[in-house]
Amino acid sequence: MPAFRQVGEKQLPQEVVFMAWSPKRDLIALANRAGEVLLHRLANFQRVWSLPPNENTGKEVTALAWRPDGKILAFGLNDTKRIILCDVEKPESLHSFSVDSSITYMHWMEVTEESSVLTSFYNAEDESNLLLPKLPALPKNYSTTAKIFSEEKSDEIMKLLGDVRLNALVLGGSSGFIEIYAYGMFKIATVTGVAGSCRGLCLSSDLKSLSVITEIRDSSDSEAEITYFQLDTSLLSSYLPEVTRMARKFTHISTLLQYIKLSLTCMCEAWEEILMQMDSRLTKFVQEKNTTTSVQDEFMQLLLWGKASLELQALLMNQLTVKGLKKLGQSIESSYSSIQKLVISHLQSGSEALLYHLSELKGMALWKQKYESLGLDASGIEDAITAVGSFILKANELLQVIDSSMKNFKAFFRWLYVAMLRMSEDHVLPELNKMTQKDITFVADFLTEHFNEAPELYNRKGKYFNVERVGQYLKDEDDDLVSPPNTEGNQWFNFLKNSTHLKESPLLFPYYPEKSLHFVKRQMEGVIDKCLQKPADVIGKSVHQAVCMSLYKTSQSEDSIPQLFKLPFLWNDKTSNIHYVLFTILENSISKIYILRRHTDTSRSVSNGILAVDFGNFLNNSINESSDSRCYSCLDAHFYDDETVTVVLKESVEQEGKERVLAQLPLSSVYTDEDQDREFIWDSTKRLDEQSDEIPTRTVFLENQWRVLENMKAQYVSVNGIRKVSCVLSSNLRHVRVFEMDVEDDGEVEEEEEEEATQIAAGEPDEQNQSADNQDNVCGASAEELLDETEEQESSLDP
């Protein structure tokens, strides 16, 4: 029986450019050339969901990474230079941010280092949960949130916080671009001093060092030089408890900013275009009327004498109509009350929580002994607190405008409704017919304030009136408000104006009466980003280069390989704190695998060294009789776990009938003699491939941990040692096979699979089983996909 059990196989319609197994579940994420991100389940390689490319996110996926808890998938897009964080449960973006470079690699790691301070922090209940009320769930009845939030629960935004234990998303891009994001959300380091385009990254689990593989190319047509850098990140490890606390606060703040942004988007959706109807109808009336009487006077005459001009009657009865007036009144009441609820329950709650976390961060910044070295600046945080205060003031102003507008419109529409009923000689109910002197004064004041013609407004906005005052606060533009609140006669304003000391007091938040809510929100985001940017710069400058090794030059044939499949491959052994680098060098038409290892503590030379690995003959004679002098080239290699490397091999002289092999290489068979891997003395003036003859070589004979991949031109492999699975991809990038690597754990794996099947998108109408795919009424699969699957069953799977 073969060593590994095949559990799925599929021909895919698009070429796959990247594969990544979930660290916690039997799920694999794929990115294809069309810019689509797909999630497949291990069993029969069923598709769980797919996220098609779109204009907002981007169309060219260049990197994929899972958060260590397996609940969030991150991917980078080249065309928009954005990073998207996607929920595993549903193919929608939970959070996204822009970067300055196109991303070529990303790595998401978890800190495993333990200390008493960290343990107490991990176990302590977050005080904000005790002191702050729970944020209300965002409503699902708006298109923005309906896309993101599932029906059962709408607090997915809080999923972004994840576990308390620190994890970090490391991004690498072109021109030496490297950034580290705590919890995948907030930037804590901008690393400089590395040359070339990033091909691999690995931050050690103790945060002591960052290994980087780059590709340095002098010109577009020259061969690229692959170089290994080891960077010392000891500041992060020395201040690990402080970094964790600070990063946790940053992540809370980022999550709240996203919450406020979504709340504001919902408010914009609640405001309807129908509310502008009164403004546009009145403007048209001004343009078409022949009299010199102003619109305000026309309505005043109707209010005082109960008679309207023929032109005003035509406007009211033919254009606005009684039915239209009722609809407009209902729309205004419904829209304003929805916005009011969102401001009170969501915007204010989110802002107050933001104020709390920033105040805590300021307290941390004042503890200079602990946090000054990390670049936390109290004055910058004070500016951020002030900006949040200004935003809260603007939200309160909007509430006052909504409140007064609702009262005004209610009285105005009630009076106008009765006047229009009289014009049409309809019966007016007695309760509607009663208007006190106070009501008349109220409507007269409303007409005086809101029905003034403004020619300068027509030049700006194409209308003469701004009766509706709420929408201007929700416009995302830099222009001043068309109708700012009237502060004349306000005693508090006059008092502040005349008091020079109070005007500059840090206890008072600045107020921007001329600006919209959106403008103040953007200003707040800018100040917060600026104040939290300083730690990233300070920590980034502390990172310095410890080792730089030129490995080899790439061959021209490698340029056609998708960037994401190219070796070298980096791995961090959490137990022994060692970085491993796997790469191959072509010698005499054989790709030999090399294993470089470096200790994460850059001051130590223990366990540093390099070895080359040859694969001796291990295929039995039934496969190929001439087996005496067989040599194998390594096509791809990935660490399966800390003790094993998974490799894809092919015979060096490829002939018809010669199959490719999937094998497990135990490191114990490579590192047999403790001293031998230190014998090689590196000449730093030469590349590694120029010194390959002097590197110690191990010849390994695999016993039973291999399997021949029949009818498949296998080229690449992606593995997950925690879930004990692997996925092999063919050289045409369309044919995949999935294997369970440890067959003895079969029963347990199947149980877990069934459990997950109920959790993750159970019943998705895409690929329920192989036979169902061939039915005419299959749901969710394209014609091209069905064609590929039929070919897979009828003929050989690879060209």
Question: Residue 555's pLDDT is what?
Answer: 66
What is the token pair recorded at 348?
A: 């204010």
Higher confidence at residue 83 or residue 290?
83
Describe the strand order of the beta sheet including 47-51 as a list of residue ranges: 16-21, 27-32, 37-41, 47-51
Q: Report the 10 Å Cβ neighbour count for 755.
A: 11
| 192-196, 222-226, 425-429, range with the lowest pLDDT | 425-429
The stretch 546-561 carries a mean pLDDT of 73
- How sure is the predictor about 516, in pLDDT bands with cuts at 50, 70 and 90? confident
| 5-9, 339-343, 555-559, range with the lowest pLDDT | 555-559
- How sure is the predictor about 704, in pLDDT bands with cuts at 50, 70 and 90? confident
What is the token pair recorded at 168?
A: 């970090």
Q: Can you tell me the distance from the alpha carbon of 25 to that of 42, in angstroms, rounded to the nearest whole number?
A: 9
Question: Residue 418's pLDDT is what?
Answer: 81
**E strand or H helix at 550:** strand 544-553
- How sure is the predictor about 785, in pLDDT bands with cuts at 50, 70 and 90? very low
Interval 106-147: pLDDT, tens:
999 998 877 777 777 777 767 777 888 888 887 776 665 544
Q: Can you tell me the distance from the alpha carbon of 476 to that of 522, in angstroms, rounded to the nearest whole number?
A: 9
- How sure is the predictor about 657, in pLDDT bands with cuts at 50, 70 and 90? low
Question: Residue 294's pLDDT is what?
Answer: 78
The residues near 165 (Cβ < 8 Å, ≥ 6 apart) are 110, 111, 122
Highest mean pLDDT among 413-417, 430-434, 718-722, 753-757: 718-722
Question: If you write DSSP's letter for every residue of 655-683 in order, what string do you get?
Answer: -TTPPEEEEEEEGGGT--STTGGG-----
Our count of domains for the chain comes to 1
| 766: pLDDT strictly greater than 90 | no
How many degrees, rounded to 5, is the angle at CA 489 between CA 486 and CA 490?
75
386 belongs to a structural domain: no
- How sure is the predictor about 94, in pLDDT bands with cuts at 50, 70 and 90? confident
What is the token pair recorded at 400?
A: 């006052």
| 25-39, 218-232, 269-283, range with the lowest pLDDT | 269-283
Highest mean pLDDT among 82-86, 130-134, 406-410, 442-446: 82-86
Query: Which domain covers residue 678, as residue numbers?
Result: 565-711
536 and 190 Cβ atoms separated by less than 8 Å? yes
Question: Residue 79's pLDDT is what?
Answer: 83
343 belongs to a structural domain: no
Higher confidence at residue 654 or residue 291?
291
111 belongs to a structural domain: no
Backbone torsion region of residue 295, taken as left when φ is above 0, otherwise alpha when ψ lies between -120 and 50, otherwise beta: alpha
Interval 604-627: pLDDT, tens:
655 568 888 887 766 543 344 444
Question: Residue 753's pLDDT is what?
Answer: 46
Q: Can you tell me the distance from the alpha carbon of 312 to that of 279, in angstroms, rounded to the nearest whole number?
A: 15
Question: Residue 624's pLDDT is what?
Answer: 42
516 and 474 Cβ atoms separated by less than 8 Å? yes
Highest mean pLDDT among 62-71, 134-143, 504-513: 62-71
The stretch 639-650 carries a mean pLDDT of 89
- How sure is the predictor about 231, in pLDDT bands with cuts at 50, 70 and 90? very high
605 belongs to a structural domain: yes
Q: Report the 10 Å Cβ neighbour count for 660.
A: 22
Q: How far apart are the two ends of the chain, measured CA to CA in Å?
A: 27
Higher confidence at residue 749 or residue 233?
233
Cis peptide before 568 (omega within 30 of 0): yes
| 169-178, 354-363, 421-430, range with the lowest pLDDT | 421-430
- Dihedral over Cα of 93, 97, 102, 106: its sign: negative
| 16-30, 217-231, 580-594, 784-798, range with the lowest pLDDT | 784-798
| 791: pLDDT strictly greater than 70 | no
CA 550 to chain centre: 34
227 and 202 Cβ atoms separated by less than 8 Å? no
Question: Residue 354's pLDDT is what?
Answer: 93
| 765: pLDDT strictly greater than 70 | no
652 belongs to a structural domain: yes
Interval 587-608: pLDDT, tens:
766 778 888 888 888 776 555 6
Interval 379-395: pLDDT, tens:
999 999 999 999 999 99
Q: Residue type for 202, please?
A: C
The stretch 163-179 carries a mean pLDDT of 89
In 94-225, which residue ranges form alpha helices assigned H by DSSP? Answer: 116-123, 127-131, 143-148
Question: Residue 456's pLDDT is what?
Answer: 65
DSSP 619: S
649 belongs to a structural domain: yes
405 belongs to a structural domain: no
Residues comprising the chain, all counted: 799
Question: Residue 790's pLDDT is what?
Answer: 38
Q: Can you tell me the distance from the alpha carbon of 236 to that of 184, in angstroms, rounded to the nearest whole number?
A: 16
Share of the chain above pLDDT 90, in %: 15
646 belongs to a structural domain: yes
Average pLDDT value for the chain? 78
Share of the chain above pLDDT 70, in %: 79
| 774: pLDDT strictly greater than 70 | no
DSSP 25: S
| 179: pLDDT strictly greater than 90 | yes
